[in-house]
Amino acid sequence: MNLTLKIWRQNDAADAGRLVDYPVEGITEDMSFLEMLDVLNEQLQARGEEPVAFDSDCREGICGMCSLMINGEAHGPEVTTTCQLHMRSFKDGETITIEPWRASAFPIIRDLVVDRSAFDRIIQAGGYISVNTGAAPEANNIQVPKVAADRAFDTATCIGCGACAAACPNASAMLFLGAKVTHLGELPQGQAERSPRVVNMLNQHDAEGFGGCTNIGECATACPKEIPLDVISQLNKDFRTAKKYAG
């Protein structure tokens, strides 16, 4: 198939940036979206033009590196990551607009590549269970009811891609935050630090410039791992409890 791509080009943080049109030909349905961009980049380089910069690594939907706004939707039209999106989801002759994540806490580095180090800092603020290597008890001494284990797993599947914040009109990363708070909060191992964790992580979230949740739900729609919206309820509940105990 043949397509017209409108791609955001921006040299660096200081550059204003603009959408540039690129026609591409010879795309097949079996290609992934990023392989389609690989084809474009090979063609650009053959013409002596600099290739479009975009992030990807695993190309299996698990590392969270890929991050494109496709026709205004984070990760495009399917419930999956950009790298797992295939060209069979598009039609011959279509025009596709490709932009980077947009949120002030994710500054653009170049073209479609953004800086998501804010997410690392949110984890640093408390997204862990404090146990030094060697200090762990025998694994089966900790019993976890299957329901709790399953919910912990479901929320632990967050890949830290940032689509939730990119999709949110208020640039809130509370789905990401709620997923971590729920993962660790569901487990017996996570109880000791439950209250300080939620307070510290939320403070960091706000300090990074992410907005608060405004109950729109775009985040859960965009999330490639289907993290449910109710993790934000859990986040609020834990926060309320934490404040109560902190007095």
Contacts with ligand FES by CB under 6 A lie at: 56-59, 61-66, 81-83
As a whole number of angstroms, the distance between CA 145 and CA 134 comes to 25
The number of beta carbons lying within 10 Å of the beta carbon of residue 92 is 10
With CB cut-offs between 5 and 8 Å by kind, which of another protein, ligand FES, ligand SF4, none does residue 223 bind?
Answer: ligand SF4
Closest CB to ligand FES among residues 164, 213: 164
Which residues lie below 8 Å from residue 143, measured CB to CB, with a gap of 6+?
188
With CB cut-offs between 5 and 8 Å by kind, which of another protein, ligand SF4, ligand FES, none does residue 152 bind?
Answer: another protein
Q: Could you say whether residue 177 binds ligand SF4 (CB under 6 A)?
A: no
Among candidate residues 39, 34, 83, 77, the one with its CA nearest the CA of residue 58: 83
The number of beta carbons lying within 10 Å of the beta carbon of residue 228 is 17
Q: Is 213 left (phi over 0), alpha (psi -120 to 50) or beta?
A: beta
The binder of ligand SF4 chosen from 3, 69, 125, 159 (CB under 6 A): 159
Beta strands in the chain (DSSP E): 3-9, 18-24, 69-70, 73-74, 95-99, 108-110, 113-114
Minimum CB separation from another protein for residue 171, in Å? 18
Minimum CB separation from ligand FES for residue 127, in Å? 20
Minimum CB separation from another protein for residue 216, in Å? 26
Q: Judged by CB under 6 A, which stretch of 12-20, 120-128, 140-148, 154-162 contacts ligand SF4?
A: 154-162
Minimum CB separation from another protein for residue 50, in Å? 5
Minimum CB separation from ligand FES for residue 57, in Å? 5
With CB cut-offs between 5 and 8 Å by kind, which of ligand FES, ligand SF4, another protein, none does residue 242 bind?
Answer: none
As a whole number of angstroms, the distance between CA 166 and CA 219 comes to 8
Torsion sign, CA atoms 12, 71, 157, 130: positive
Q: Could you say whether residue 225 binds ligand SF4 (CB under 6 A)?
A: yes
As a whole number of angstroms, the distance between CA 81 and CA 63 comes to 10
Q: Which residues form the interface with ligand SF4 (CB under 6 A)?
A: 158-164, 175-176, 179, 222-225, 227
